Amino acid sequence: MTSPLVPGSTIGILGGGQLGRMLSVAASRLGFKSHIFEPSANPPAADVAHRVTTASYEDQDALKAFAETVDVITYEFENIPTSALDLLETLRPIRPGREALRISQDRLIEKAFLADLGLAIAPYADVTDSTSMTAAVEAIGAPSILKTRRFGYDGKGQARLKSAEDAAEALAEMNGAPAVLEGFVNFTCEISVIAARSADGQVSAFDPGQNVHRDGILHTTTVPAKVPAKLQMDAVLMAAKILNALDYVGVMGVEFFVTPQGLIINEIAPRVHNSGHWTQNGCVSCQFEQHIRAVAGWPLGDGQRHSDVVMENLIGNDMDRMPELMADPTCALHLYGKADVKPGRKMAHVNRITKG
Amino acid sequence: MTSPLVPGSTIGILGGGQLGRMLSVAASRLGFKSHIFEPSANPPAADVAHRVTTASYEDQDALKAFAETVDVITYEFENIPTSALDLLETLRPIRPGREALRISQDRLIEKAFLADLGLAIAPYADVTDSTSMTAAVEAIGAPSILKTRRFGYDGKGQARLKSAEDAAEALAEMNGAPAVLEGFVNFTCEISVIAARSADGQVSAFDPGQNVHRDGILHTTTVPAKVPAKLQMDAVLMAAKILNALDYVGVMGVEFFVTPQGLIINEIAPRVHNSGHWTQNGCVSCQFEQHIRAVAGWPLGDGQRHSDVVMENLIGNDMDRMPELMADPTCALHLYGKADVKPGRKMAHVNRITKG
């Protein structure tokens, strides 16, 4: 794929959750159709998609049929089974590319990649069994966090060690999954950069957002971040370095810890990111449009911030606040169309305009 | 329907063109599903709708089945056959209501309604045959414009009279359709107000836009309009008067001629309006969201303008300009997903941010 996709082309999206939903809407603005591939029935993205395939990632026939109807393939989550990617990449371009997925699917590989780039990360050690766990605790110390190498999200697959005595219990929580012990970072706050890179190498980063988590799930993102301009610039440059190193095409989220010694990268996500939702009401081109522009081979749009925003996730029973939120003119609502409210389930987000 | 529709409810939309498409996207943001009713196959709105019914407005079974799946019915165009409305209104609320449709479907009734409200309109006369045409030309004079009472849009169904001698030819162009002869208004420019009214009577108007037409089709809308603040306020108050008089629920477009003697109302449209597309990139709540909020019984959102915008329609071969437009970061693109480019066909619009 060397020239920009023409309007009327179809973007294939792996995953039909809220990120797929908002990617699909952005695709429609640019005249593209979207085809969602999602194992579960009635996913949020189905309400705004041209077409939906309901099938497992093990269903090679369904994957093949899906690929043949689309012009390019992208995804809303990084944990796509390798076998599916192996098949799909023979049929259509996958953007962002396989290398970004390979790295971000495995915390150990991701950390080695970031360290190789000379970027600051927390001290870490590979943990596969009790012997390596003992060595890791000796090297990293406590407090520290044991995390599965793969399939972790929203704080899942993690166990904290307050002291070295918690080692055995933490290891047991991994259920035998390969893990990484991370040194605990004493940070003053967390920020993230959502950056986009086009097929021809143009990079555009949104203003860094300041993130607050609750129970391991993102609670709010505030822009502008209350962090010195120098550190914000550092964060943008570090994100750009990662994108360029990967010859990346699409939007990436990069999370940072802000410490007295500077920035430490927490993790990267090769996709649109919850902490970039503020861009829907803070910029002309939101993260979803930048991602679609990039994967379609288009130039990037304008990611400059025109408003100050506090994004808040509405999780589970937060939906009880809808009557108040729908009446508040400072609140731009973004609901995901999920039928069942469950504890911990991301149902919607609200972008509160704090300065227009 | 007395309480606000809950997220997950379905908005029925009559008409699947670009307005239905953008209404459908706005509905999804608020957690609603949309069900499009449209006679033609593969309409623009289908790409972003939960469900589509492809059937004629004469198909009473299809209309009934459609109504039974939705919670409220709205529309993207005013010329819906009365028989369809008669059936639908027995099954579900129609918003905006029948009275707004009755008035706006017929230029003669619309003019009488506006005159009764004490609002300034161009002089007009009813024309049904050559006798009434002669009387109308005598009363109104020339230059003037003969327009069909029903089904006109984008300059269709209109004939200009440069002098009284053009009367017979103009009448012939009506093909026997009842018509109205309008006195020619010597205006300096055209503006329009897009105003919303909620089910509980709250009114919110967007800033007036200044419109330029080409070949009878809207070419650009510019905000802010280069018209004195006093006239802009007059326009908003006149729009509010119309909405309140109709106990209107939803968004309405009101077009004005600006003359040295003040504002003269050209016409009203009981729906989202091409001259309100700038709100997608100029406001937190665009006209599509305000309309969905109103018909869903929600409070209105924030329609304040945060950016200056020039909206331009991309018609027919204007799509050849896509490479330049997609590379221009000041341009927010909105494509309609229409497969075939035809002369005079609205394919897309671009909101150029002139001051953020």
pLDDT of residue A2: 65
- Burial (CB < 10 A; 0-12, 13-18, 19+), residue A322, is buried
Q: Which of B4, B46, B48 is closest, CB to CB, to A25?
A: B48
A240 and A347 part of one domain: yes
A78 and A127 part of one domain: no
A29 and A167 part of one domain: no
Mean pLDDT of successive 10-residue stretches along chain A, which has 356 residues: 88 98 98 98 97 98 98 96 96 97 95 97 96 96 94 79 94 94 95 98 98 95 97 98 98 97 96 98 97 98 95 97 96 96 96 92
Cβ contact A193:A239 at 8 Å = yes
Q: What is the largest CA-CA distance in chain A?
A: 59
Cβ <8 Å between B284 and A50: no
The residue in chain B having the minimum alpha-carbon distance to the alpha carbon of residue A326 is B299
B128 and B232 part of one domain: no
The tokens describing A266, both together, are 């927490």
Does residue A99 sit within a domain?
no
CATH code of the domain containing A72: 3.40.50.20
B195 and B326 part of one domain: yes
B76 and B199 part of one domain: no
The tokens describing B330, both together, are 């000041």
pLDDT of residue A138: 96
pLDDT of residue B313: 98
Cis omega (within 30 of 0) for bond into B96 = yes
Going by C-alpha positions, the residue among A296, A297, A292 that lies closest to residue A27 is A292
Domain boundary residue, one of A94, A110, A145: A94
pLDDT of residue B97: 97
B132 and B162 part of one domain: yes
Domain boundary residue, one of A149, A183, A217: A183
B213 and B348 part of one domain: yes
CATH code of the domain containing B275: 3.30.470.20
Best residue in A5, A18, A25, A28 for a mutation probing chain B (most B CBs within 10 Å):
A28
Q: What is the DSSP string of B225-274?
A: -SS-HHHHHHHHHHHHHHHHHTT--EEEEEEEEEETTEEEEEEEESS--G
Best residue in A9, A292, A326 for a mutation probing chain B (most B CBs within 10 Å):
A326
- Number of compact structural domains in chain A: 3
Tell me if residue A353 falls in helix, strand or coil: strand
- A292 contact residues in B (CB cutoff 8 A): none
How many Cβ pairs closer than 8 A exist between chain A and B?
118
pLDDT of residue B154: 67
- B4 contact residues in A (CB cutoff 8 A): 323, 326
Tell me if residue A156 falls in helix, strand or coil: coil
B168 and B127 part of one domain: yes
- Give dist(CA B112, CA B107) in Å, integer: 9
Domain residues for the domain of A80 are 10-94
The tokens describing B33, both together, are 């599903």
- Beta bridge mates, B125: B181
B44 and B59 part of one domain: yes
Does residue A296 sit within a domain?
yes
**ipTM of predicted assembly, 2 dp:** 0.94
Does residue A326 sit within a domain?
yes
Does residue B111 sit within a domain?
no
Does residue A73 sit within a domain?
yes
Q: Is A176 annotated as a binding residue?
A: no
Q: Is A118 left (phi over 0), alpha (psi -120 to 50) or beta?
A: left
Cβ <8 Å between A339 and B304: no
Cβ <8 Å between B48 and A30: no
Cβ contact B36:B47 at 8 Å = no
Does residue A4 sit within a domain?
no
- Give dist(CA A151, CA A158) in Å, integer: 11
Going by C-alpha positions, the residue among B81, B79, B17, B11 that lies closest to residue B44 is B17
pLDDT of residue A151: 80
Q: Give chain B's residues under pLDDT 50.
A: none
Best residue in B6, B48, B317 for a mutation probing chain A (most A CBs within 10 Å):
B48
The tokens describing B252, both together, are 């309405």
pLDDT of residue B356: 75
**Chain mean position to CA B121:** 18
A272 and A198 part of one domain: yes
- Give dist(CA A98, CA A333) in Å, integer: 34
Does residue B149 sit within a domain?
yes
pLDDT of residue A159: 93
A18 and A41 part of one domain: yes
Does residue B80 sit within a domain?
yes
CATH code of the domain containing A151: 3.30.1490.20
Specify the DSSP element, H or E, that contains A204: strand A203-205
Domain boundary residue, one of A75, A94, A113: A94
